[in-house]
Amino acid sequence: MFFTEITSIIAKLEPRKVRLDFDYRPIILASIILQGCNPPERGEVKIADAMPQQVCLDVLPSPIRLDKVSGIIGSNDAYPEERPTRRVKLDAFEIDAVEVTNVQFQSFIEATGYLTEAEKIQPGFDVPGGAVFIQPTATHPSWWRFVEGANWRHPEGPESSIIGRETHPVVQVTLDDARAFAQWAGRRLPTEEEWEYAAKAGADTLYVWGSEKSPDGNEMANTWQGAFPIQNTREDGYHLRSPVGCYDPNAYGLYDMIGNVWEWTDTPWGSPGSNPVHTIKGGSFLCAENFCRRYRASARQPQEIDFSTNHIGFRTVKTAKD
């Protein structure tokens, strides 16, 4: 198993007559044609020189404490894996108000000398690197490519950089990389239940902010606009990741719980120990109206724990003392 954005969809081919209400079978067929059912091909990515540092928040906000609660997670109105809704009881915890940024992760690396998984030899490729999204072309139809030298410092490959992206969420991190940072910071990764409760912030609408994805034409999160994977109109102003905090926070004061990058949780997908995948939440800049549609708090997806991409990051939590 490699990339699960397709495999989680093709588990069943019948259209979902739900509030998401679209027939994604043509998208599945297109993805099979484009990807050829193969792992990402090797590739190179050409990136323009780094821009001046982009910042949406002058100061990163402090973590938010959420008291001991009983809350509803899941959805009966979307993808099957989100069903059924259920009530969970959670002890008090605090959660990062923003995704862990490049500059925060750099502090961890400098303090510990930690080497991320993408900086090590990758089985099957025999070089270090990670997966990078690249819009497909006639000559390169796969939109995921393994790029030698892609890592947290160079998210799209050796010619890319985090210079100017210091406040962007760190990516090209595996589950163990995220856990290592959290342990160093005296924290941990959230469970899926904690993450979803925090993201919903008491909302019971399809989207955290209401019933429409783009109310009055305003984009509420960093997602994909246009026909994925070929056309990206960038109506939200971003081609890839955005700095943290560029969109309004939810009712709990948490930024970017939806879109920008998927986020690791510490919850296995399926039965614990049954397969090496964990649950990621929140969707990313690659989620579009015609593909994925997982820019919702209840959305969930499996992800291989030992392979990194340029659209998955994380945030941390800490059990709060009464």
Rounded CA-CA distance 91/322 in Å is 9
Is pTM beyond 0.75? Reply is yes
- Phi, psi of 101, deg, nearest 5: -95, 170
- How is the beta sheet containing 129-133 ordered, strand by strand? 41-42, 144-148, 129-133
CATH number of 1-322: 3.90.1580.10
Domain boundaries, the chain: 1-322
- 216: which DSSP letter? G
- pLDDT for res 184: 98
Q: How many CA atoms lie within 13 A of 319 on its CB side?
A: 4
CA-CA distances (angstroms) from residue 196 to 13, 27, 75, 267, 280?
Answer: 27, 27, 11, 12, 11
- pLDDT for res 103: 97
Q: Using an 8 Å Cβ cutoff, are 233 and 225 in contact?
A: yes
Q: What is the DSSP string of 225-245?
A: -SSTTT----TTS-SS---TT
pLDDT mean by block of 10 residues, the chain; 322 residues: 38 34 35 35 40 80 93 89 93 97 98 98 94 87 92 97 96 98 98 97 90 90 87 85 96 97 95 78 91 91 95 97 74
